[in-house]
Amino acid sequence: MNVGLVIGNGGSLAEMPLEFLKRYPSIGSNHIFLLEGFTPTFYTAIDPMGLATDFESRLANMHCIKLLGRRVFNRFSPKNVLRIETGKDGFSKNLFQTKACEGWTVTYFNLQLAYYLKWDVVLLVGVDHWAKGNQSHFVDNYIQQDFEDSDMNDLTLPYYNMAKAMFEKAGRTIVNLSKWSALDVFEKQDIGLW
């Protein structure tokens, strides 16, 4: 069975043991490089808003496979990355052949990548699904700018439901291990089971 991690940047990630994060192949995004002692197997970013001013140098220092959405690729000049075209709707089973949907969250993009990688079980960690400015991330200095609370989480739910349906149709599953997560679309389990 192929098991992989889709890592969000929520506050619960701070309590996740590094040895657990290193146990499985992983997809991390945005400012995951601020998590000391950890580099994901795959790195993604689809929205250039809020990315660190030193994004390109940090990206260059990450030794992993990097996939950037068109909007990030167009704003920065990254080297040694794969450019992924994104569109508005759907679920891409192969994001190298058809446009991947952003679904209002990089986590949805990452679920499409996990599907392409043929992961039978996707474990969500750090996907807290609530936003309260800097308090909603695993480190205090995560965001370079302030932002207001929003209803963005409501916009993501149809996409998460679509991901769940696509995985289940293929006989695969998505499990949420994120402590305190407000995301109820996926079955919640304790890290101890994995």
Output the tens digit of pLDDT for each of the chain's 194 residues: 999 999 998 888 988 999 999 999 999 999 999 899 999 999 999 999 878 888 999 999 999 999 999 999 889 888 899 999 998 789 999 999 999 999 989 999 999 999 999 999 999 999 987 655 445 654 555 554 444 445 555 788 999 999 999 999 999 999 999 988 889 999 999 999 99
The distance of Cα 102 from the centroid of its chain, to the nearest Å, equals 11
**pLDDT score, position 180:** 82
Residue type, 129: H
pLDDT at residue number 146: 43
pLDDT of residue 78: 87
SS3 8: coil
Number of other CB atoms surrounding residue 194 within 10 Å:
15
Number of H helices, E strands in the chain: 5, 10
**Counting Cβ atoms within 10 Å, is residue 106 exposed (0-12), middle (13-18) or buried (19+)?**
buried
Q: What is d(CA 7, CA 11) in angstroms, rounded to the nearest whole number? A: 12
Q: Please tell me whether the overall predicted TM-score, pTM, comes out greater than 0.85 for this model.
A: yes
- Count structural domains, the chain: 1
100 within 8 A of 109, measured Cβ to Cβ: yes
pLDDT of residue 134: 44
Residues making up the chain, counted from first to last: 194
Tell me the angle at which helices 152-169 and 106-116 cross, rounded to the nearest 10 degrees: 10
**Structural domain of residue 92, as residue ranges?**
3-193
Distance from C-alpha of 69 to C-alpha of 46, rounded to nearest angstrom: 4
How far from chain centre, in Å, is Cα 122? 11
